[in-house]
């Protein structure tokens, strides 16, 4: 069996050692990529983590109000750089947290919670936030994932359209980042990869054909940066880049090099890969079985061509 299959089997065998949110993450991603019945069973099992016990308007409104209180932990990448923009857009991180849940309710569990969401976060507020971020380019660059996920899910889930200006986001990433700074390079990688992840509705749909050339340019740009700074970039980031290349149907020349680092990174504590062969790993390694789930899920996905599946469960 391949290392990826061995890792997947190991995670399925040790699911009870993971928190509910990490179980949902691996279930959601592997269902979307493979339609894996074991992963789909996780989504069924974790329904109560995502869905209120009573699916009523009042319960959904209360859920979104609670999620809006979310504040990002100070341990996230680039927190010091991001803090002024978190303060400038104080509702953004809560909206990001809530709109992700709206997405899970809609795409995984078939629950249309948009009316309840709109009573807490009106569409006009989202339009104003989108306009503000379009003008405030430095904020969008530094907020990175928070801005990108919110923008895409606003269109995909609430407005039900693909009207995202991918070219403008590509252009945004081509200026303003100091890629000699590992922290800023990481934010650029996050921004471009999450344009692709969010555009695919987290691996459940093909990207719009007309936008594929722009997303491919994003991958070409990241490929050059990662190649130049290979020993400074975390393994998580490298495999996420590779997964996004799969989504864009872009054959990266870094595939074998990333695969070799993964093969040389198996943990002595079990069948999963850890981060140990780069500078980032020495500074901020998260190498327990649970902390490695994100990295290993991406590694599993990176081994096969993109073939999106529905994640809908009853």
CA separation for the pair 247, 307 (Å, rounded): 8
The CA-based dihedral angle spanning residues 72, 76, 77, 78, taken in that order and rounded to the nearest 10 degrees = 50
pLDDT at 18 over 80: yes
pLDDT at 90 over 70: yes
pLDDT at 235 over 90: yes
pLDDT confidence band for 286 (50 / 70 / 90): confident
* 253 Cα distance to chain centroid: 23
pLDDT at 1 over 60: no
CA separation for the pair 140, 130 (Å, rounded): 10
Q: What is the pLDDT of residue 58?
A: 97
Q: What is the pLDDT of residue 218?
A: 98
H or E stretch covering 60: helix 57-67
Query: Among 72-76, 107-111, 251-255, where is mean pLDDT lowest?
Result: 72-76
| Average per-residue pLDDT for the chain | 95
Lookup result for tokens 């990433």? 173
Q: How far is CA 310 from CA 108, 208, 314, in A?
A: 8, 17, 12
Q: How far is CA 189 from CA 96, 133, 148, 177, 240, in A?
A: 19, 19, 12, 11, 9
Q: Which two tokens stand for residue 26?
A: 């691996």
CB atoms within 10 A of CB 56: 11
pLDDT tens-digit readout, 132-170: 999 999 999 999 999 999 999 999 999 999 999 999 999
């Amino acid at each position: 069996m391949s290392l990826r299959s061995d890792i997947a089997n190991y995670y399925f065998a040790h699911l009870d050692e993971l928190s509910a949110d990490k179980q949902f993450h691996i279930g959601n991603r592997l269902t979307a990529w493979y339609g894996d019945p074991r992963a789909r069973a996780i989504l069924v099992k974790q329904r109560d983590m995502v869905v209120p016990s009573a699916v009523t308007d009042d319960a959904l409104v209360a859920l979104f109000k609670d999620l809006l209180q979310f504040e990002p932990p100070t341990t996230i990448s680039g927190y010091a750089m991001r803090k002024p923009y978190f303060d400038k857009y104080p509702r953004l991180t809560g909206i990001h947290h809530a709109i992700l849940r709206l997405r899970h309710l809609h795409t995984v569990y078939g629950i249309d919670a948009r009316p309840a969401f709109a009573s807490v976060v009106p569409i006009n507020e989202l339009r104003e936030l989108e306009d503000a971020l379009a003008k405030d380019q430095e904020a969008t660059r530094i907020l990175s994932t928070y801005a990108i996920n919110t923008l895409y899910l606003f269109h995909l889930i609430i407005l039900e359209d693909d009207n995202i200006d991918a070219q403008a986001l590509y252009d945004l990433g081509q200026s303003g980042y100091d890629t000699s700074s590992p922290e800023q390079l990481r934010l650029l990688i996050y921004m471009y990869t999450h344009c692709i992840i969010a555009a695919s509705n987290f691996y459940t749909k093909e990207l719009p054909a007309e936008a594929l050339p722009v997303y491919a340019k994003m991958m070409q740009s990241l490929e050059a940066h990662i190649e130049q700074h290979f020993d400074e970039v975390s393994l998580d980031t490298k495999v996420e880049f590779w997964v996004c290349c799969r989504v864009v149907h872009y054959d990266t020349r870094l595939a074998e090099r990333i695969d070799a680092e993964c093969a040389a990174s198996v943990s002595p504590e079990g069948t999963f890969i850890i981060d140990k062969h780069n500078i980032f790993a020495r500074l901020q390694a998260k190498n327990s079985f649970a902390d490695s789930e994100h990295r290993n899920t991406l590694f599993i996905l990176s081994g096969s061509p993109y073939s999106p599946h529905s994640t809908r469960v009853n």
